[in-house]
Structure 1
Amino acid sequence: MASRSVARVVAASSLLAAASAHAQSSVTLYGVIDAGLNYISNVQTGRTASGLQGEHQYSFQDGATGGIRGSRWGLRGTEDLGGGLNAIFVLENGFSINNGTLAQGGAEFGRQAYVGLQSPYGNATAGRQYDSVVDFIQPFLSGAAWAGYFGAHAGDVDNTLNTRRINNSVKFMSIDYAGFRFGGLYSFGGVPGSVGHNQVWSAGASYRNGSLALAAAYLNARNPNLSFYGTNPNAGTTAASNNLGSVGSATSPQSNPIYAGYASASTTQIVSAAGSYQLGPASVGLIYSNVQFRGLGSSSGPNPFGYSGTATFNNAEVNLRYQINSALLAGVAYMYTHNSGADNTGSASYNQVQAGTDYFLSKRTDVYLIVAYQHASGHDSLNQPAVAYITGQTPSANNHQVGVRIGMSHRF
């Protein structure tokens, strides 16, 4: 009897040893710290009987509100399950270098948090993740390369610079098939008796061949005030809340006047396409997106201006990046956004030009300079003469705004 027990222990130990040898795993700690000084020519300070009031501003800001890279740290892990299959996970925290507080509305892992399987065909993951517009279109933007959050399309209305993350989502991203990749995401609304309520889905694809790169992506969000714009912990959880922005007050500035007035949309739809061409040290990029806030006046969110119908944004960007040498790059870009307005309001246009340079002191540390100018015209979503709003900053009290940032980032 004793000999049988010993044999079982030896056998179990052998199986555990074999499993341990078979399952190779690793966990990597990584991160970015981005800090800088910003100058903004005019920011709102409030409102009086004569209209919006504003002053110029000097401030110290984390990269997430004006820099090239938002400060973060994360854990990335993988475990070999055999047969070409791996278990994978990412937990990524965003924080502010200003005061050490959590970013993304106070979420502990607000940038990304997912687990899944990696196979010879691609990755299948579940959790809080980036949508297909971010995955496939963002790499073409000047904002992703050298212009930072200053370089987002007006208010990041098309989410190409990743202002919003998608909760409760499942996602697939294929491997590279001779330069072609594809993927998609679905977020469960979780509302009893209504599969479509609060759901979000997206899909995209890209193709690279030598110097040429192309991509396209689509996103559809039902009840977007909560499902798309309300995914951070500090967001409102009822239709009475406006998670897109605010009208401000006598003592506080407005927030996101470009599309804050469209919280009552029943659906937000984003269609986007991009391309780039590399010619030696120079690269030219083109991006277009169409964003529609459909079904205005629904019960999805507040509608203080009584909007109805659809508000449509068309965004276009052309950018040029030049690698001066191995350590120094420079870029310029022009962006145009036109909001056709809802069925019973006027339209607005936003023209922005920006330039920047980035110098790498080492493989992990760089210093950079970004300059942006925006001019607004027409009437915006808050039913007022359109004001300039360089993304990530406080809106201007008038129709123009200049932003300058000097920053430094370090990767670990």
Structure 2
Amino acid sequence: MKRKRLATAVAFTTFSALAAFTAPRAFAQSSVTLYGVLDEGIDYTNNAGGGAVWEMASGYAQGSRWGLRGAEDLGGGTRAVFQLENGFDVSSGRLGQGGRMFGRQAFVGLSSDSYGTLTLGRQYDSVVDYLAQTTANGNWAGYLFAHPYDNDNTDNSFRLGNSVKYASPNLAGLQFGGVYSFSNDTNFANNRAYSFGGQYQNGGLLIAAAYLQANNPGAGSVGAITANDASFIAGRMRIFGGGINYTFGSATAGFAYTNSNYRNPTGNGYIGLPLAAPGVRLDTLKYQNFEINGKYQFTPACFVGAQYVYTMMNYDASSGSVTPKIHSAGLMADYNLSKRTDVYVQGEYQRVSGGSTQSILDHAFIPGTQAPSSTGTQVAVRVALRHKF
């Protein structure tokens, strides 16, 4: 009898140990999502450097991209998060954003339902996060509808490297956040940037505002805004603005104001030319953009949108000060063939008038075209196919 009890005890102990060893562990849940956009079409520009041009071009309504987005549940409403997003040119297969593998976004961080999200890496600034969505180009239209030279970055021409970002949770429709981007230089302030903004949404109403400042954007290859990523190369960049959108039924109307100030600007990433005439020192270049936009959703599959932007440019140089005016107007129609695939057509017109700077800035230039016009006017038209996955 004792032998039988001993054998039973040994068998039970052995079974319990094996069960404990082989039992499933409680691992934190995690997920990774692969996503992307392919935007490819045919563009016509009536005057690019003096001649008309037809071309195949990628990433206008949305930049062509693929990316990985992931999260791991750490418990208590907290998650580890990451995002890696690659930008590329469908026409040629080339990398975008200065040849970076993950040039659109690359960050890792922690997210809490109660306290918000803190992330580190290459990220969007607060103008892109909050204010841009009140403009046509930063919402539904894209590249061709950007303000002149995308002077306010509402079209996301550059990102902030070496950045720490905080984004609040949704507090009864209010969200806010900020970004600080390190220069990674022994001169702490050289090519650093900081930005903050917020938005309030209630039903069909959206109100947003943002501020961005960068010291020596475009200086070097390791700072906040590097030489192969900058829209303007300058001693200092300062941008602020606000916007409002209201949706009523099938219609959405919007207004946005932005103010961009560049101290000692020397170049621009779009045109690759000096911004002042030979022998002239450009002290300050300032843009004030006033935009009205509207969109009407005729059916769930089809919308038509329009935009008008009035831009006042202040050109202060050693040769004097002038204030040219820039008028930009655009139309777009979009039709969804399915939930993931759509076709669209866009047209944009720009005219520069008023005082002459005696420089390349007197010539019209629509972002996305090959080169500035040889005159003060330019027209661009695009027909494209877009697929999302």
Does TM, scored on the shorter chain, surpass 0.5?
yes
Report the structure number with the largest CA radius of gyration.
2
Task: State the Cα deviation string for residues 134-187 of structure 1 (Å, max 9, x = none).
Answer: 000111121234322000011100001100111000101111100000000000
Q: CA deviation at 1:233?
A: 7.8
Task: State the Cα deviation string for residues 192-242 of structure 1 (Å, max 9, x = none).
Answer: 1x3222110000010011221100000010111327998688729xxxxxx
Q: Corresponding residue for 2:285?
A: 311
Q: Corresponding residue for 1:377?
A: 353
Q: CA deviation at 1:84?
A: 1.4
Q: Could you tell me how far apart the structure 2 residues matched to 1:307 and 1:41 are?
A: 32
Secondary structure in 2 aligned to 1:147? coil
Alignment partner of 1:149 is 2:143: yes
Secondary structure in 1 aligned to 2:71? strand
Q: Could you tell me how far apart the structure 2 residues matched to 1:185 and 1:318 are?
A: 28
Match 1:130 to one of 124, 128, 135: 124
Which amino acid in the other structure matches residue 388 of structure 1? A
Q: Could you tell me how far apart the structure 1 residues matched to 2:209 and 2:342 are?
A: 31
Q: Could you tell me how far apart the structure 2 residues matched to 1:106 and 1:90 are?
A: 18
Alignment partner of 1:320 is 2:294: yes
Q: Could you tell me how far apart the structure 2 residues matched to 1:37 and 1:234 are?
A: 29
Contact 1:377–1:387 (8 Å) recurs in 2: no
Contact 1:200–1:227 (8 Å) recurs in 2: no
Alignment partner of 1:271 is 2:240: yes
Alpha-carbon spacing, 1:234–1:184, altered in 2? closer, same or farther (3 Å) = closer
Q: Corresponding residue for 2:373?
A: 396
Which amino acid in the other structure matches residue 119 of structure 2? T
Q: Could you tell me how far apart the structure 1 residues matched to 2:220 and 2:255 are?
A: 29
Q: CA deviation at 1:347?
A: 2.8
Q: Note the 1:61-210 alignment, pairs <5 A.
A: 61-63=57-59, 67-120=60-113, 121-192=115-186, 194-210=187-203
Secondary structure in 1 aligned to 2:133? helix
Contact 1:142–1:151 (8 Å) recurs in 2: yes
Q: Corresponding residue for 2:386?
A: 409
Q: Corresponding residue for 1:29?
A: 34
Which amino acid in the other structure matches residue 81 of structure 2? I
Secondary structure in 2 aligned to 1:341? strand
Alpha-carbon spacing, 1:371–1:134, altered in 2? closer, same or farther (3 Å) = same
RCO comparison, higher one (Cα < 8 Å, 6+): 1
Contact 2:217–2:235 (8 Å) recurs in 1: yes
Q: Corresponding residue for 1:349?
A: 325
Q: Note the 1:47-58 alignment, pairs <5 A.
A: 54-58=50-54
Q: Could you tell me how far apart the structure 1 residues matched to 2:366 and 2:216 are?
A: 26
Percent identical residues:
43
Which amino acid in the other structure matches residue 383 of structure 1? S
Task: State the Cα deviation string for residues 388-408 of structure 1 (Å, max 9, x = none).
Answer: 101121211111111100001
Q: Corresponding residue for 2:308?
A: 334
Q: Could you tell me how far apart the structure 2 residues matched to 1:101 and 1:222 are?
A: 30
Alignment partner of 1:282 is 2:251: yes
Q: Corresponding residue for 2:43?
A: 38
Secondary structure in 2 aligned to 1:137? helix
Q: TM-score, normalised by structure 1?
A: 0.82
Larger deviation, residues 307-316 vs 333-342? 307-316
Contact 1:166–1:228 (8 Å) recurs in 2: no
Alpha-carbon spacing, 1:381–1:411, altered in 2? closer, same or farther (3 Å) = farther
Q: Could you tell me how far apart the structure 1 residues matched to 2:185 and 2:223 are?
A: 15
Contact 1:106–1:233 (8 Å) recurs in 2: no
Secondary structure in 1 aligned to 2:316? coil
Contact 2:183–2:223 (8 Å) recurs in 1: no
Q: For the aligned residues, what is the CA RMSD?
A: 2.8
Q: Could you tell me how far apart the structure 2 residues matched to 1:399 and 1:57 are?
A: 17
Q: Could you tell me how far apart the structure 2 residues matched to 1:23 and 1:135 are?
A: 30
Which amino acid in the other structure matches residue 27 of structure 1? V
Q: Could you tell me how far apart the structure 1 residues matched to 2:144 and 2:150 are?
A: 10
Q: How many residues align?
A: 364
Contact 2:294–2:307 (8 Å) recurs in 1: yes
Contact 2:217–2:227 (8 Å) recurs in 1: no
Long gaps (5+) in structure 1: 1-5, 45-53, 237-242, 245-259
Alpha-carbon spacing, 1:381–1:118, altered in 2? closer, same or farther (3 Å) = farther
Task: State the Cα deviation string for residues 222-265 of structure 1 (Å, max 9, x = none).
Answer: 111327998688729xxxxxx55xxxxxxxxxxxxxxx6xx3x3
